[in-house]
Amino acid sequence: DTAVSQTPKYLVTQMGNDKSIKCEQNLGHDTMYWYKQDSKKFLKIMFSYNNKELIINETVPNRFSPKSPDKAHLNLHINSLELGDSAVYFCASSHLSFEQFFGPGTRLTVL
């Protein structure tokens, strides 16, 4: 199936830990994104990335960092996790900056 996939689907961890969420797309898209959806369902873009440019939402703490080993993958690394990081994180991809297709989401719970 062509899609955007994320692993893990659920992630429960302690404060202060470092964790990663993986994202892969097999749609042949050149741009990938990370979004955070909070408990009130509000969606906020964190990063957008193509092979030329990383655009960072300036409100994102530098504990969050995207890493792209290749065009099909954009992983999200989070250092020193805090309670407020608990949310659902969505990866998305698009061709150039057109219609975005979203992954299934990763529910992160920080205890």
Partner 1 sequence: ELKVEQNPLFLSMQEGKNYTIYCNYSTTSDRLYWYRQDPGKSLESLFVLLSNGAVKQEGRLMASLDTKARLSTLHITAAVHDLSATYFCAVDEGGGSQGNLIFGKGTKLSVKP
Hey, what are 41's tokens? Answer: 């369902």
Applying CB under 8 A, which of residues 24, 34, 48, 87 lies at the interface with partner 1? 48
Contact status, residue 21 vs residue 88, Cβ threshold 8 Å = no
Q: Does 12 interact with partner 1 (rule: CB under 8 A)?
A: no
Cβ at position 16, least distance to partner 1 in Å: 28
Applying CB under 8 A, which of residues 7, 13, 20, 57 lies at the interface with partner 1? 57
CA Rg value for the chain: 13
Q: How far apart are CA 4 and CA 21, in angstroms?
A: 13
**Would strands 10-13 and 31-37 be described as parallel, antiparallel, or unpaired?**
unpaired
Q: Does 34 interact with partner 1 (rule: CB under 8 A)?
A: no
Residues in touch with partner 1 (CB under 8 A): 31, 33, 40-45, 48, 55, 57, 90, 92, 94, 96-105
